[in-house]
Amino acid sequence: MLVLGLETSCDETGVALYDSERGLLADALFSQIDLHRAYGGVVPELASRDHVKRMLPLIRQVLAEAGCVPTEIDGIAYTAGPGLVGALLVGASCAQALAFAWGIPALGVHHMEGHLLAPMLESQPPQFPFVALLVSGGHTQLIRVDGIGQYELLGETLDDAAGEAFDKTAKMMGLNYPGGPEISRLATQGVGGRFVFPRPMCDRPGLDFSFSGLKTFALNTWQQCVSAGDDSEQARCDISLAFQQAVVETLTIKCKRALKQAGLKRLVIAGGVSANKALRTSLEKMLGDMKGDVYYARPEFCTDNGAMIAFAGCQRLQAGQHESLAISVQARWPMEQLAPL
């Protein structure tokens, strides 16, 4: 089955063609980061308008790269939520219009299920069951995964998502959006031990997270540096390192706890923050000590992309799922509501 995948939930237009027999045939991405950078974050209306401009050229590009024609496509998968409603509507209406014109089914895919399944595009895909850590700009969740659509939420953030904490910490030190890659780059030049950040909610049982305090701690630390006359690049690097170490250690402690609780030794990490090298290294060490395995996607498939939507949609379309021509998207959408395959 050949599936066209469209991703437009936030600030990236992603398009890909995935074939159930031949694998990923082509994928293309247009990132709007330069468009939003001046505002220090995503401006929803600008995002929607840009998706409109990029969508059809990207679809043509992907078809050309794969050497495919529209009549070969068996179904279209698009991100139906969660995300920015205006941005989601661009992908949804485009997918439904093309599906109607081409006489094929369309299916709305859950953005976080896309992220969750992205490591399955790699050469050594994880086997079910496993524990998944979903860490993106909007979500931080620990989930027990027994199969596609069989999701049990084990814990989640009570306030900011991990990626959001990276972005906000970066912004207040005057760094560019998105903050995750900036902080991890500066952290490599940081001097360890100059600052020590707390490890929130690690001293009590449970699998929930809280990252807003860490962001405030970073703000106070930065303001103390500035008032002491040190607003140098080195101060930013040292704070970035201390902040990243706190996030990474907190996530590692909770993942270990979740694996123990679930009685599993397989961990999947997905979403933008799973591209973070320090996080990967820390989790690899933890799983190594447990004689378990950690799985993640290549960096470009950790952040938003069309390939993960084409792949997730293909699994569900193959199982016979599709929808009516109604164009409907959801800004919020708990993943446990998804139907099992």
Lay out the site mask for ligand KG4 across 147-176 (x = CB under 6 A, - = otherwise): ----------------xx-xx---------
Q: Choose the stretch contacting ligand KG4; rule: CB under 6 A; options: 88-96, 191-199, 267-275, 318-326.
A: 267-275
Instruction: Rank residues 99 and 209 by Cβ distance to ligand KG4 and give the closer one.
Output: 209
Interacting residues with Zn ion (CB under 5 A): 136, 304
Tokens linked to 285: 């060490």
Per the document, the length of the chain is 341
Q: How far is the CB of 272 from ligand KG4 (least distance, A)?
A: 2
CA 269 centroid distance within chain: 9
Residue 3 labeled ligand binder = no
Instruction: Rank residues 238 and 304 by Cβ distance to ligand KG4 and give the closer one.
Output: 304
DSSP-derived letter for residue 209 is B
Q: CA-to-CA distance for 334 and 100, rounded, in angstroms?
A: 28
Q: CA-to-CA distance for 294 and 273, rounded, in angstroms?
A: 15
Residues 6 or more apart whose CB falls under 8 angstroms from that of 55 comprise 6, 8, 13, 15, 90, 91, 94
Q: Choose the stretch contacting ligand KG4; rule: CB under 6 A; options: 33-41, 54-62, 145-153, 268-276.
A: 268-276
Residue 304 labeled ligand binder = yes
Any idea what the Cα angle at residue 218 is, between residues 214 and 220, rounded to 5°? 115
Instruction: Rank residues 136 and 157 by Cβ distance to Zn ion and give the closer one.
Output: 136
The correct pick among 154, 248, 273, 287 for binding ligand KG4 (CB under 6 A) is 273
CA 109 centroid distance within chain: 14
Tokens linked to 74: 């068996």
> In 220-290, where do the E strands start and end?
266-270
Q: Which run of H or E residues covers position 19?
A: strand 12-19
Is residue 303 a contact residue for ligand KG4 (CB under 6 A)?
yes
The correct pick among 14, 81, 180, 190 for binding ligand KG4 (CB under 6 A) is 180
DSSP sequence for 43-77: -HHHHHHHHHHHHHHHHHHHHHHHT--GGG--EEE
CB atoms within 10 A of CB 129: 15
Residues numbered 104-143 forming contacts with ligand KG4, rule: CB under 6 A:
115, 136-138
Instruction: Rank residues 136 and 282 by Cβ distance to Zn ion and give the closer one.
Output: 136
Q: Choose the stretch contacting ligand KG4; rule: CB under 6 A; options: 66-74, 121-129, 230-238, 269-277.
A: 269-277
CB-CB contact of 25 with 69 (8 Å): no
Q: How far is the CB of 121 from ligand KG4 (least distance, A)?
A: 15
Q: Which residues are annotated as a binding site?
A: 111, 115, 134-138, 167, 180, 276, 304
Q: Which residues are annotated as a binding site for substrate?
A: 134-138, 167, 180, 276
Contacts with ligand KG4, residue ranges (CB under 6 A): 10, 115, 136-138, 163-164, 166-167, 178-181, 184, 271-273, 275-276, 303-304
